[in-house]
Structures are given as structure tokens and as C-alpha cells.
Structure 1
């Protein structure tokens, strides 16, 4: 793992953050960019979608957001060679002080770029192993941390041959490098497995798939933050999913305390993977008293859970994450509150069509509960049903210190508002 660079006595001004991104996300637009502004950083955002980021940036500024100076640079950010080459060319006038991304897809590229320029960053092997679900299973098994049945189906491999191996059913089929629960599905038997694989391949030609043991149980997350030496456990959410065969996150509730011994078990497995720098969002279930990893996302939790977590903990979470990439050590005590509670609720459509009616963005504070609603789809937009988080119409995040009041506030909001889809 790359060790954080020693903090210099004086930094030149301005300090420049090179941020890699694909599509705009709330984590970047409403989390990391405002944090960069508070830290006084200049930001160069390298992306394959500069126009979309320009619109998101301008909209946030129009809404009163305090964002940093931003240089948008078009770049094939999925190719680490292009990333390094572009940063090198920019470095003639704006040498990088940090290379950072919060994208699942871009962690290896950011890690390789940081290493190339001698900057603090993640171990590129850990970034790759956590992104690639087949490598993840092999790395955990080799370390003796956990053994989950897993088989890889390459683009030219026939699912019929895999189904004939005598797999443990039911099993889960997923893209080897997928995100957002897209095309993650439960297969009940061999015929179902073959059908599911062919369905996914029609939508993702050339994609490699992973077929693995179904780890049944209540789904939890563990949110961590490290600087390469110290690893802080920030909190844990309980995640409620849609019924199988799909796995759409519908609600996350912050647990009042970190579950033990499962938290320690997850941390042990993360260390076996080489994870310990920056933010990490890990999903796991408990079976037979032990924590079994579903997946490791080597970045901050998204879909506005990171915004809720920062509110509840009462710490500059996004600034802490950026500081680690600037080579600054984390404090031994983050000073996080322990009495905060949170619930994040997703309004999810059950059919494709055009959104005809939906409530506007709002923010209220009543009876000790702060409730924020943000639309994720505009009225008039037409979308197919995807059985992923791309079916979300809006997100509610409610925070306070009384879980009962938080739940009441969310239920009251859902009862009072209407979302109408015209099929």
C-alpha cells in the first residue's frame, strides 16, 4: 500500500486537486467539491462527460452552493495511460498535489496516477481487487479470510457449460465489474442461470460475469476511513432490499452502534485485501456468527448516504477524505458524535414510463428531525424499468437523535406526497 507522503512544512499556493469522474454524482457535486472549496483547493476535474459536469456545477452554484474554482478537462478517464498523460501535460502549468476519485470504475486509474506522480494514494492492487469481483473472491480465499464459491464466465464462455458443473443453487449472477446493483440477479436452478446469463449478455455484450454462492442474511454496511496507518470505523447501516430475484436498495438505517464482533471481522478482511487508505464502503451479511463480504466499494458510500453520515457524525467527513489524499494524517480521534440517527429512503418506481407528477426538492426541520428530499428524476422524463437504483425517483434523508421521530417524519412525507408514472 502506498504510504501517505510526509506533510511539507509549507505548501505552494494554490493547492490543486485532480479529480477523476464519469457522470456527475451528488457525492462529488454536493460533497467533495464544496469540501474542496472549504479547504481552499483549486480543482481540475478530468471526465469523459464535461458538459454534464458543467451543468451540475452551474446548477449547484445557482442554488447557492459554495464550490471551488473548477477547470473541466475532457479525458478518457477509464484509461490510466490517458489520465497520466493528461495530468502530465496539465502539470506544466498546474502540477498535481493530489489525484482522487470517488468512482467505483476509476479507483485503479486514480491509484496508478497518484503513484506515477509520487502522490499519496491507494495501493493499485487493492483498488483493482476490490473492483473486480472475481479477483476479490480469489484474494480473500488466498488470504484465508473467507471462501465463497465463485466462478468467472468470460465473454466467450458458454453459461450452459458452467451450469453443468453442479453449482450451489440458488446462486447470484452479476457483472464482474458492475455497479449500482445493475444486472445482479438470483438464479434458482441451472435453467434459470443460463437464461439470466444470456439476458445480461444481450444488455452487456462482451462483459465478463461472476456466478457465486448466494449469501443469505440481513445486509449491513461498514463505513471506514483510513490514512494508511490509522483506520477509523465511522458507522454501519442496515440495508433493506427489494424481494429477490433482484437486489434494489430501498432503505438504509444507521445502526446505533457498530455490531461486534462482526465489525472487527470485516476490518480483518479489509486489511487482508490491502484496504486502509481513504474511504471504503463494505457490504456484508452475517452467517453463523461471522461476517461474510458481499462486496467492497473502495470509496465513500453514495446515493446521499454519505451526506447523511456527515450530518449525523458532525464531522467534516469529505474534508477528511480529501486530506488523506493530500498526505495529511487523520486525527486519532475524529470527534464524531455517537447519538445521531439517520434513515435514507428511496422512492423507487415499479414500472417504466414518463414521470408525470412528483414533489419538488424540499428541506424541513421539525421535532428534532431534519428531513431533506431531493428529486432524482425530473417530471416529463421517460425511462425504462431497470431493477436497479436507476429506478429511483427521489431520495429522502432524515437525521436527528430519535429514531422513532425520524421514522414518523419519513412515513408522513411518503403519505403526503405523490409520484405518478404514465406507462
Structure 2
């Protein structure tokens, strides 16, 4: 079985998730990337992964493909079209576009009668519409909470748009009504016929006006689940993993965004451990045309905690990589930075210093373990 894995920058999901999963399945892997230096020791072909013509041409002059797959936010539509060219299982390229483009997401959900959220597309140079209440400004195709800002009044709205346009010249933005309420995720896996719910998380954000995810707690109950599934059906989400963020507002559930790939920031590894399944193998296998397995219910409680810099500075101390189990408690820490690194605060997910995962029999034990780790092994900046 020959897998072509389409990717841009290196991520834990790829290097510690999908590549080991492909090896466990006995598949041959060729990485298609514009950054082969990020994948030492791997069979890589340098390719413009954001150009479907380049993807098709590169694959066609290499080994015959059995699976063409990507977990990249930015290359889903191109990968889907390349898979279709070779007659392989793949996502609907229209669904990939509609989920990645936040303006198209709002349009599709409104047209299907699933939900209506006030949203305005702001192309470069477009004047700002009148907006008296709280509004969220974000890049139309952004990731990692970059340049997502809450503006509470017209003056803040104008300044937020000007600041983002200054950092992203030529890019289209979206302004949306601020959706207030508890924030959840729904994690799904589909095979093009059945869509399985794997589970979900309750999300804790850092202080507004920014939207940095600081902690995700396993949520045995997922209020609003059926609304989210209706939204995914309207968007055409079917094959593969999907990570959806939504809010329980006073008016009912509302979609924040749909990410047509597996959840990241080590929450994918936490999900696999909570379910006790080879999640990354499952995802690859549905892209090979196999049916999606029925997931077992999650056992225990778990949390993924992002250890976030609160200011700029130089790292003078930080906890090492570690994994351990004691008395039914499992804990992992993945260091994203190193002592001596200079940190420039961005108010995005790029401010993460480390990722902590904890699984225990009850929520109190999870909370205690997180608090103890933070106290005894802090990241320190000078």
C-alpha cells in the first residue's frame, strides 16, 4: 500500500501520529511537501502542495498511489482533487473549501437553514459596515487563533481591522457577531457513508479580546451534538477526521469553525488514549476505503493543557519531555520550546511553551495533577 502524505510544516500529528501509524500498517510512505528538510530520513518529494497540478504531476511520475491524504489545514482541497484525479477515496473538494473559508461556512449553513450568524466578508479596501455591538475580526482562512480579536465597540472594530490588515496585506477578513457561551468541540470520523462521533471537549480560553485555547477537558456529555452533525451534513463533511468548534449560546448551538482534519495540539493523542484505539490508523484506513469503526465510549477523565507564555522574554527554565503512570494517573508533557529561546508574545497558539496531557479516574484527580505540575515544574521567563 503506497501512501502519499501531503504536508507543509512538520507537526506532532504527522511525525508522532500518522507516520508511525502508516508504519504500523506496513504501508510505504512518500511525503509530498515544500519543506523536505523538515522530514529527515523520510522519502520526500519537494512539491508545491498548494497547487493541485503540481501534486498530480509529482505523483504521476512516481509510484502508483493507493492513498493520497493530508492533515494540513491549508492543503485539503488540493489533496481531495488529487485523490479524485487518481480515482482514490477522498474528501469532497467543495466541502474542503466550504470549511476552510469561514465566509463560505456561514453562507452554506444559512442556505441550508441550519443556523444564521451575522457575518460580513471584508476584502482588502472594503469599508467597514456599521456594527454597534461586540464583533469578532478574523482572517477568512486563518489558523491557530492568529489575528482573531474581539472588538466591543465601533472604535475597537476599526482599530482591530486596521491592525490585522496591516499584518496581512491583501488578505480577506471576516467580521462576525460575538457568540457568547460555553465552548465545545465535536470530534468525528467518517468513511463517506457513516459519520462516527468520537467524542469532544469543553474548551477554556485565555483572557479576551484574544481567543487562545488554554485547556480542553474531555466532555462525556456533548450538548448541541445533533446541531453540529446537521451542520457537518450541510457542509458536505463525510470522509476522514473533522474537528468542529461550537458555542452554546442563549439562542442555541452555533458553529465557530469547522476544521476538516483531526484535532491538534496533542488533543488527538489524548483522544486516542481516552478511547483506547489506534486513532491515526483508523483515519488512514478510511482514506484507503475501509469502513469507519464504531468507537468505544471514552473511559476516565482527561485534559489537555497548553502552558502559555504570559509575556515576552527569554526562557530560563522549563520542564523536560516526560511520560509516566502512577496509581491510575497518566501524565505526558511535550516541550515546544527550550531553555534559551526568546519568546515574543503573539496572543495566539504560537505562545505555547509546552503541552500537558493528563488522564485519571475522576475530574478531581485530573485537576490536582495539573495544579501540581504547574506548581512544581513551571516554565520561567526572564
Tell me the TM-score normalised to structure 2 length: 0.97
Aligned to 2:78: 109
Map of 1:6-405 to 2, 5 A cutoff? Answer: 15-54=1-40, 70-90=42-62, 94-157=63-126, 161-162=127-128, 165-259=129-223, 262-288=224-250, 290-331=252-293, 333-334=294-295, 336-405=296-365
Q: Whole-Å Cα distance in 1 between the matches of residues 333 and 121 of structure 2?
A: 40
Q: Deviations over 1:296-330 (max 9, x none)?
A: 00000000000000001011111110001111112
Per-residue deviation, 1:216: 0.7
SS in 2 for 1:236: strand
Q: Whole-Å Cα distance in 2 between the matches of residues 295 and 78 of structure 1?
A: 21
Q: Deviations over 1:226-260 (max 9, x none)?
A: 1011111110100000111000000000012333x
Q: Structure 2: 5+ residue runs without aligned partners?
A: none
Q: Whole-Å Cα distance in 1 between the matches of residues 351 and 161 of structure 2?
A: 22
Per-residue deviation, 1:407: 1.5
SS in 2 for 1:321: helix
Q: Whole-Å Cα distance in 1 between the matches of residues 133 and 357 of structure 2?
A: 36
Q: Deviations over 1:58-101 (max 9, x none)?
A: 6xxxxxxxxxxx311111111222112211222xxx11111111
Aligned to 2:375: 415
Q: Structure 1: 5+ residue runs without aligned partners?
A: 1-14, 59-69
Per-residue deviation, 1:360: 0.8
CA contact (8 A) 1:313 1:340 kept: no
CA contact (8 A) 2:144 2:348 kept: yes
Per-residue deviation, 1:289: 5.9
Per-residue deviation, 1:400: 2.8
Q: Whole-Å Cα distance in 1 between the matches of residues 135 and 78 of structure 2?
A: 31
SS in 1 for 2:330: strand
Q: Whole-Å Cα distance in 2 between the matches of residues 274 and 340 of structure 1?
A: 33
CA contact (8 A) 1:23 1:53 kept: no
SS in 2 for 1:275: coil
CA contact (8 A) 1:314 1:337 kept: no
Tell me the number of residue pairs that the alignment of Structure 1 and Structure 2 aligns.
382
CA contact (8 A) 2:199 2:298 kept: no
Q: Deviations over 1:5-48 (max 9, x none)?
A: xxxxxxxxxx1111111111111111111110110011111111
CA contact (8 A) 2:132 2:154 kept: no
Q: CA 1:167 to 1:397, structure 2 compared with 1: closer, same or farther past 3 Å?
A: same
Q: Deviations over 1:250-286 (max 9, x none)?
A: 0000012333xx1111101110110121000000011
CA contact (8 A) 2:181 2:250 kept: no
Per-residue deviation, 1:351: 1.2
CA contact (8 A) 2:187 2:198 kept: yes
Q: Whole-Å Cα distance in 2 between the matches of residues 79 and 324 of structure 1?
A: 24
Q: Whole-Å Cα distance in 2 between the matches of residues 391 and 288 of structure 1?
A: 31
CA contact (8 A) 1:367 1:405 kept: no
